[in-house]
Structure 1
Amino acid sequence: MGHTAFYKLRARPPGMGEFHRSPSKVWWSNDEPRDSNSPCHSHKSQDSGFSDSETIFLHCIDLTPVTKCARVKGTSTSSPVSGPLFTSTPKTRDTSGLNPCLIGSPQLTPCLGTPEFTRLVDSLELTPLVDTPEFTPRLVDSLQLGPRRLLDLFQHLDNPQEPCNPVQHWLGDLRVLYETECMNTLQSKSVAVDLNKQVTAMAATTTDTIRMLQDRTRLISVEFSKLCRQLDCGLLDHVGPLVQSLAGHIAEFVRQHGERVESGGRELEKVCDKLRLSSARPNVCKADIASDVATLGHLFTRLVDSALTHQITMLVNVIEEPGTEMALRAALSSLCDLGTEGPHLIRLVAECEGVNALLAVVLESRSSSIRTAALRSLSTVCCVTDTIRRFEQAGGLEILAELLTEETRPEAELSEAAAVLAQITAPWVEDNHNVRGLTESLPSLVHSLTRLVSNTRSDETLLLSAAALANLTFMEPQAVWPLLDCSTAGELLQSVKLRGPQASVFLQEQAATLLANMAAVPESRPYLAEQRAVVGLLCFLQIRHSPLQRAAEIAAAERVQQKSAIAISRLCSDPVVAVQVVELQGVSRLVKLCKDKRERNHSDGVLVACLAALRKIAANCGTGAVEELDALELIQPRLLDSFLLYSSRPESYV
C-alpha cells in the first residue's frame, strides 16, 4: 500500500468507529482513512467506550517499530502478526483465539489516553493487516498495569470447549484448590502410627527405672562379696579400702533412692559411719567389722526392697486406676517384663496386690486385647508359690474356668487363659502340689481345652493347651476320667499328626507326657490302644537331636524319648499292645537307643526307660525279637547290670 497505507485492526460494525493506523500514527475515527500527513480532525465515537469530552489528540498515538516478538498461539499462518491493540468496543469480550485476560479488561479503558499508555505502545511492533490478529506476549505483559487476579487467567486457560475427563478436571482444580485434599490426607493418617511401639516406649520408663535400681544393687552386692571373702580369709589389710568403697556406693544409692524411705536411709548411713570408724582403727577387730557388715547388709536389703516396692506399687496403681487406655497397656507390658526379672521381683508383685489388679482387669475390661495382655502378665508372674497362692485366694481358677467355657471368646484370649492354667499347675514350681478348687473345675477345664486343641490352627495355642492338659495329669490324678470322656488323647494325637514334620519338639513332648501319665492308669490303656497311641509313641522315639538345635530343643528331644519309652513300657503291660510294638519294629528302635549313646544324646534317663520297655515286651511276647537283634544282655540278668553296661557315666555302686 506504500508509505500512506493504512492497517485496519478489526472489522467495523456498521455505524461504529474504528482504529486507523499509518506507519507512524494510530487514531480512532468514524471517517474513512486519511493520509498519514493529514491532520487529525475532531470527532466522537458512537460506541467506543470513551466519553464525549475526550479530544482526538488523546487518541492519536505515535508508533515506533521494535524487534519482532514471538508468535503466540492463535495467530494466522499467513502472517506473524500479533493481536489487535484494542477492539472497537473495549467492553465487549471476544474469545475467538484472543487472550481473554486483556479483552474486556476493566483496566484498559482508563489507560487509553494516558502518557504511560503512549510510551507502552511506542514499544510495539505492528504488522500488516490480517484476518485474525492477536496480542503479542509482550503487549499482554505490558498492558497489565493494574492489579489483577491470576486465578481468572487459569480459569480461562483451563476451561475446555468440550467436556473433559473428570480425572483431568480434578487434576486441573488441584492447582489452586488444594485445601480439601490436604485435609483429606491429614485425616487419613493414623494418629498412633504404631501402637505397640508407643506402648513399649511408655512401659520402658518404669521398667528401666527398676532395672537401673537392680544394676546398682548388683554392684553393691559385688562389693559386699569382696569384703566378706577378705573377712573369711582373715586378710584384714585390705578391709579398710573395701569398706570405704562399699560405704561410698551405699551413700550414693541412698542419695538417689533414699527420699522414699528416709528413716531406713538415715539408719543405713549411721551403720556406714560406724563401719568406717571400725575399719580405720590401728587394731582392726574382725568380729566387730563382721557384725557391722551383717547389719549393713540387712538394712541395705530392706532399703532396696522398699525402693522396688515403691516402683511396683506405682505400676499396680496405674493398672487399678488407669488414666488412659495407653497407660493401662504400658503398665501391663511393664508388669509382664518384671515377671522375667527373677522370683524376688515376682514376690514383691504379689505383696503389692498385683495379681488381684490383673484379675480385676480380666473381669472388668471391655477390650479383648487388654484382657489378653492382662492374662499374659498373669501367666508371667504366676511362676512362684506366693503368686499362685494369691491367685487362689482371689478366685482366679474359677475365673479361668468360666472364661475358657465361653466359646465366643477370641482365640488369643483363650490361648492366654490356657497359658495361665499351664503355669499354675506346672510340676516344676516348688511347694505347689495342689491348687484350691482344681478338682471341682476339672470337667469344664478338660472339655474346654480339648475343644481348643481340636479347633485351633495356631501352633502356639495348641502347645499351650497341650501343656495345660499334661500338667493337669501331673497335679490331679483324677483328671484321667475327664480326659477319657472327652477323647482328649485322640484329639491331641490327631492335631500333632496334622502338623506333620512341622510339629514342634515341645508339642511332641507334651503329647508324650499326657500319654505316659494316662498309661499309668490301667483303665485308660484299652482306650489308648484303640486310639493307636503306640504308633504315635514309636514316631516320637524316632526323634533325634541336632547340633544345630538350641540347648532347650536338645533337652526337649531327650524328654520326648524318655516319656515315649515310659508310655510304651506301661502300655506293654497289655499283651495285645506288646504284640503291636513288636509288629511295628519298635523293639529295634529301643535296642538302638540303649546301645548307641549318641542316639539318646548320652542320656541315662532314656536308657533306663528303654530297658524297662524291652523287659516288659520280653515278659509278654518272649525274648525272640530281642535275640534276633543280638541284645539279650539288655534283658538279662538284672536291670542294674544292663544299665551299668551301657551307661554314659561309669560309676560303681557298692
Structure 2
Amino acid sequence: MVDISFKRARTKAVHREQLVFLCYHSLTLFNGSFDRSKEGLLVNPVERWMQDIRLMTEPECMCLLQAKTIHCPAVDMAKASKLKKSNILNLRKKVWEVSTYFADFYNKLDAADAQTIQRLAFQLINQIEKIIGNFIGFLYTSVPFNISEKHEHVRIQSRMLMCHMENFKVSSGKGVVPVLKTLSNLGHAFAGLSETIQANLVGSLLEDIRGSASIYHLRVAIESLQAIATDQEISKVIIKEDGVQILCQICSLNNVDSMKVDALKTIGVLCEIQQAQIELEKANGVPVLADLLSSESSIEVKTGVARILAQITSPNVDNVQHLLGFIEYLDDLLRELTNLCIIAPSSDVFMFAAAAISNITFMDSMSCEYLETYNTAEALLSGCLSGKADNLYSKNHVATTLSNIVSSESCRQQVIEAGGIKVLFNFLDEAVVTLKYINQENLQKTHELCENVQQKAAIVLGRLVQNKSSATLITNMNGVNQLADLCYNSLERNNSDSVLLACLVTLRKLHTFVCEEFEEMIIEELVQPRITDSFLFCSKVKESFV
C-alpha cells in the first residue's frame, strides 16, 4: 500500500517537471523572435500576446455590448413596486374568498351530512394552505419569525379541525361544539396571519417610497400606494406602518411637485380615517402643509393642500383634531387660501379653497379677524360673480363663511361693497330640479344642499340689516318680494321649514327700517302676527285628530 502511494506521488512530480520544462522551452523559443524597440529594449512576449488578443477581441465585445439591452435598475424596482400593489390587492381578494368558505362551512354544519361536512372542512383547509403558501412566497425578504409563528398556529388549528372531523356525527350532534370552537380559533388564526402578511407587503412598498432609486421609481411607488389606499382596511395598515409620516417627508422635498401631488392625494384618502389625522399631527403635518401653500409650488400642489385642510377641519368629522401648530399657522393658512381663491383657474380649485376657509371659521374665533384683514369676503364673492362657484358645494361653503363673518361691522361693509347682496339673492333662487336620471340618493343630497344654501343666504341677509341704508339696498333689489315668495311658495324653498323661518326673521328685520316698502298683505300675514302664527300659516300644517 505504501509502495503504491509512493509511485503515484512520484508520477505526479515527473509530470509537473515535464510541464515546467515545456513552458520554459516555449518561452525560450519565443524569445528568439523578440522585436527590438527604438531604445533597443526587448518586448515582453506576454505583453505582445496581450496586445494581439486585444485587437482581436475588443471589436467583437463592442458589437455584443451594443446589441445587448441595458436594464435600468430603477425600471426593475418600479416593476417590483407595481407587483407589490397587485399582491396586496390579490391578498385582500383571496382572504375574502376564504371567508366565504368559512361561512359555507358554518351554515351547513347542522344541516348537511357528515360526509359533506368533512369535504367542506378539507376544502377550507386546503384553500387556506394554498393561499398562505402563495403569499408567503411574495415576501421580499426571508420569512419573518412572527409570520412563521402564526403560520404554525394556523396549521395546528387545521390539524385539530381534521381530527374533530373523524369523530363528527350530525345526527347525534356529537362533536359540534368542539368543531365550532376550533373553527373560530382557525378563523382568528388565519385572519391574524393574513393581516401580518399584508402589513409586511405594505411595509415593503413604503420602503420603496422611502428609498426610491429614481424619480420614476418614486412616482410608481406612490401611485401604487394611492391605488391600494382606496381600501379602508389597507388604509389602516398603511397608517399603522407610518405611511402618513413617509408621505409628509415626500412633501417636504424640493423640486418634486409631481410627486407631491400624488402624495397629497394619498394623504387625503388616508385622512378619511381618524387615526390618520392623529398621525398627521405627529408628523408635524400642519407646518408642512403651510409651507407648501406659501411656497412657489404649482396650483395642483396647493389644491391638494386645500383638499386636505378641508377634510381634516370638516365639522362633520367626529372629534375634529386640533392639530399641533394649527393656531400658530392660522394666519398663513387663511392668507394663502384667500389668494388661492383669487387665482383659482377652475371651479374645483375654488371649491376646495372655499371649503377649507369655511371649515376653519368654525375652529377658532380669530379666523374671522384674519379673513377681515385679507378681504376674504371679496375674494369669495368675486369668485361667485365670475362663475367659479358653479356648484352647490361651493355656494354652500361661501354662504357658510359669510354667515360666520358678518357679525363684524367691517366684514358686513366688505360683503355689501363686493356685491354680496346680489350673490345672496342668487343663492335664494336655488331650487331642486327633479330630473328623471337623478337617483333618489343624489336627489336627497341635492335637496339638502339647496336647503342649506337658501337658509344661510337668508340668515346672512338678516344679519346685514343693521341700519336703514343696508335695508334700503336690499329692498331696492326687490328683496322683500323675493323673501315673501319663498315664504308663500313651498316648492321655491324646497319644502324647507328652516328656510321659511329664516325668511320670516329677515322680513321682520327689514320692516323695522323700511316699513313703507312692504305691501299690506305681506305685513298682515308675515310681519304683524306672531312668528309662530306666520310660520304655521305659510307651512300649511294640517293636524289630524283620531
Please indicate, yes or no, whether the TM-score normalized by the shorter chain is above 0.5: yes
Higher relative contact order (CA 8 A, sep 6+): 2
Q: Distance in 2 between matches of 1:246 and 1:209?
A: 21
- Look up the match of 2:362: 474
Work out whether 1:257 is the aligned partner of 2:257: no
Task: Judge conservation of contact 1:454–1:491 (CA < 8 Å) in 2.
Answer: yes
The structural deviation recorded for 1:447 is: 0.7
RMSD across aligned positions (CA): 3.9
- Look up the match of 2:247: 358
Within the candidate set 269, 288, 299, 2:178 is matched to 288
Work out whether 1:390 is the aligned partner of 2:276: no
**514 and 554 in structure 1: CA distance in 2 versus 1, 3 angstrom threshold:** farther
Within the candidate set 217, 236, 244, 1:327 is matched to 217
Q: Distance in 1 between matches of 2:538 and 2:177?
A: 53
Q: Distance in 2 between matches of 1:492 and 1:639?
A: 34
Work out whether 1:516 is the aligned partner of 2:398: no
The structural deviation recorded for 1:441 is: 0.8
Task: Judge conservation of contact 1:537–1:567 (CA < 8 Å) in 2.
Answer: yes
Task: Write the deviation string for residues 58-104 of structure 1: whole angstroms up to 9, x where unpaired.
Answer: xxxxxxxxxxxxxxxxxxxxxxxxxxxxxxxxxxxxxxxxxxxxxxx
The structural deviation recorded for 1:639 is: 8.8
- Give the alignment of 1:96-495 within 5 angstroms: 204-226=82-104, 240=117, 243-258=121-136, 260=143, 261-278=147-164, 281-282=168-169, 283-342=173-232, 344-406=233-295, 408-495=296-383
**553 and 291 in structure 1: CA distance in 2 versus 1, 3 angstrom threshold:** same
Aligned-residue sequence identity (percent) comes to 20
Task: Write the deviation string for residues 457-514 of structure 1: whole angstroms up to 9, x where unpaired.
Answer: 23332222112112212333431111111110211110121127x8233322322222
The normalised TM-score by structure 2 is 0.70
Task: Judge conservation of contact 2:430–2:453 (CA < 8 Å) in 1.
Answer: no
Q: Distance in 2 between matches of 1:468 and 1:610?
A: 29
- Look up the match of 2:423: 536
- Look up the match of 1:90: none
The structural deviation recorded for 1:627 is: 4.0
The structural deviation recorded for 1:529 is: 4.1
**568 and 433 in structure 1: CA distance in 2 versus 1, 3 angstrom threshold:** farther
Unpaired runs of 5+ in structure 2? 1-69, 138-142
Within the candidate set 449, 467, 474, 1:559 is matched to 449
Q: Distance in 1 between matches of 2:224 and 2:401?
A: 34
Task: Write the deviation string for residues 299-320 of structure 1: whole angstroms up to 9, x where unpaired.
Answer: 2222222122122111111111
| Matching residue's letter, 1:503 | D
**469 and 636 in structure 1: CA distance in 2 versus 1, 3 angstrom threshold:** closer
The structural deviation recorded for 1:331 is: 0.7
The structural deviation recorded for 1:398 is: 0.8
The structural deviation recorded for 1:382 is: 2.3
- Give the alignment of 1:602-641 within 5 angstroms: 606-618=496-508, 621=511, 627-628=521-522, 632=526, 636-637=531-532
- Look up the match of 1:57: none
Within the candidate set 376, 390, 404, 1:503 is matched to 390
Query: How many residues in Structure 1 have an aligned counterpart in Structure 2?
Result: 447
Q: Distance in 1 between matches of 2:174 and 2:488?
A: 64
- DSSP 3-state at the match of 1:637: helix
The structural deviation recorded for 1:222 is: 3.2
Task: Judge conservation of contact 2:447–2:494 (CA < 8 Å) in 1.
Answer: no
- DSSP 3-state at the match of 2:345: coil
Q: Distance in 2 between matches of 1:286 and 1:643?
A: 66
Q: Distance in 2 between matches of 1:303 and 1:374?
A: 29
- DSSP 3-state at the match of 1:302: helix
**563 and 317 in structure 1: CA distance in 2 versus 1, 3 angstrom threshold:** same
**398 and 618 in structure 1: CA distance in 2 versus 1, 3 angstrom threshold:** same
Which entry has the higher C-alpha Rg, 1 or 2? 1
Task: Judge conservation of contact 2:303–2:352 (CA < 8 Å) in 1.
Answer: yes
- Look up the match of 1:155: none
Q: Distance in 1 between matches of 2:374 and 2:524?
A: 43
**556 and 425 in structure 1: CA distance in 2 versus 1, 3 angstrom threshold:** farther
Task: Judge conservation of contact 1:588–1:629 (CA < 8 Å) in 2.
Answer: no
- DSSP 3-state at the match of 2:361: helix
**222 and 471 in structure 1: CA distance in 2 versus 1, 3 angstrom threshold:** farther
**339 and 570 in structure 1: CA distance in 2 versus 1, 3 angstrom threshold:** same
| Matching residue's letter, 2:456 | I
Q: Distance in 1 between matches of 2:258 and 2:484?
A: 51
Task: Write the deviation string for residues 394-440 of structure 1: whole angstroms up to 9, x where unpaired.
Answer: 1111111122122x332222222222222222333333242221111
The structural deviation recorded for 1:620 is: 5.0
Q: Distance in 1 between matches of 2:101 and 2:473?
A: 64
- Bigger shift: 351-360 or 278-287? 278-287
- Look up the match of 1:18: none
Task: Judge conservation of contact 1:318–1:331 (CA < 8 Å) in 2.
Answer: yes
Task: Judge conservation of contact 2:101–2:124 (CA < 8 Å) in 1.
Answer: yes
Q: Which structure has the highest helix share of the two?
A: 2
**364 and 614 in structure 1: CA distance in 2 versus 1, 3 angstrom threshold:** same
The structural deviation recorded for 1:539 is: 0.8
- Look up the match of 1:170: none
Q: Distance in 1 between matches of 2:494 and 2:76?
A: 45
- Look up the match of 2:22: none
Unpaired runs of 5+ in structure 1? 1-190, 192-196
Task: Judge conservation of contact 2:429–2:454 (CA < 8 Å) in 1.
Answer: no
| Matching residue's letter, 2:152 | R
Q: Distance in 1 between matches of 2:519 and 2:133?
A: 76
Task: Judge conservation of contact 1:271–1:295 (CA < 8 Å) in 2.
Answer: yes
Task: Judge conservation of contact 2:451–2:494 (CA < 8 Å) in 1.
Answer: no
**640 and 610 in structure 1: CA distance in 2 versus 1, 3 angstrom threshold:** closer
- Bigger shift: 277-286 or 545-554? 545-554
Q: Distance in 2 between matches of 1:327 and 1:626?
A: 74
Q: Distance in 2 between matches of 1:284 and 1:596?
A: 71
**569 and 635 in structure 1: CA distance in 2 versus 1, 3 angstrom threshold:** farther
The structural deviation recorded for 1:566 is: 2.7
- Bigger shift: 617-626 or 346-355? 617-626
**323 and 614 in structure 1: CA distance in 2 versus 1, 3 angstrom threshold:** same
**248 and 590 in structure 1: CA distance in 2 versus 1, 3 angstrom threshold:** farther
**216 and 451 in structure 1: CA distance in 2 versus 1, 3 angstrom threshold:** same
